[in-house]
Amino acid sequence: MKDTSLLLLLSCLFCCSTNAARLTVTPSSSQVFRNEPVSLRCEDASDGWTVRRKTSNGKRTQCGVGWGTPAVSPCTIDPTDPVDSGEYWCESPEGSTSNTITITVSGGSVILQSPVLPVMEGDDVTLICRTKMADPPSADFYKDGVFIRTDSDGHMTLVHVNMSDEGLYKCRVQSKGESPESRLSVSEKPTTTISLVFRVICHLVVFCPYCISTFLMVSLYRQRATGSDHAEQGLDDDYDDVMSAVTTEHQF
């Protein structure tokens, strides 16, 4: 019974680790200029998952309903408009959701090209200040409204990022204006086996309720079956004792 239960749990863990849908975007930037195309895809997702969004006016719709291509995945927005700014995610017919991505479509002259997905702690991250000019501009970079530094080529690299690097970043180009703010998120780097096990358990709880219920039902069934066998064995033993007593008395 223990071996069967262990195999069932392992199959649940495999199911969970391979069915966690995630949303990716091309180009991989949290900001784009107006009219630049954006493509969103539900990765590691089964059939039926769709890209959905919530715009600044609070309206929630899925791709193909008033925006984007009618295809399920990828969902392409071409051309883009500032009204397309908002939160995007993947959603299954049952209501399960993926990670959420925030995209800003700017109608201005300056944007900050920064990672749209969380970056891993310890990695190097480059923020790029872009204008509609071909040549990279000299740009001032800010975090949470505080000036950081000026870079002549419009590129600022954060070396070995950590949690303290999280925040709202923007850039400013003289005579061109400044970009909208974008949040840089940093994910803690897993360093132990315990962290990995914890993540797998989280996937189990969130994505495999069917496996959990099946595991419990099988365990309960086996316990009842075992109890029934013991009960039948007990009745057989009682019967043997009675027959033995009757035989002894008859011989006497």
Min mean pLDDT across 17-26, 99-108, 203-212 is at: 203-212
CATH superfamily, domain at 21-107: Immunoglobulins (2.60.40.10)
Q: Which two tokens stand for residue 101?
A: 């991505």
Residue with tokens 């051309």: 79
φ/ψ of 89, rounded to 5, equals -160, 170
- The architecture of the domain spanning 108-199 is Sandwich (2.60)
42-46, 67-71, 121-125, 149-153, range with the lowest pLDDT: 67-71
Q: Please state, in angstroms and rounded to a whole number, the distance separating the CA atoms of residues 88 and 39.
A: 11
21-107 and 108-199 have identical folds: yes
Domain ranges of the chain: 1-19+208-226, 21-107, 108-199
Mean pLDDT over 94-107 rounds to 94
Q: Which residue has the tokens 């009618």?
A: 70
- Report pLDDT digits (tens) over 30-83: 999 999 999 999 988 778 899 999 998 888 999 999 899 866 568 999 999 999
State pLDDT tens for residues 171-195.
999 989 999 999 999 998 876 555 5
pTM: 0.67
Burial group, residue 57, by CB count within 10 angstroms (0-12, 13-18, 19+): exposed
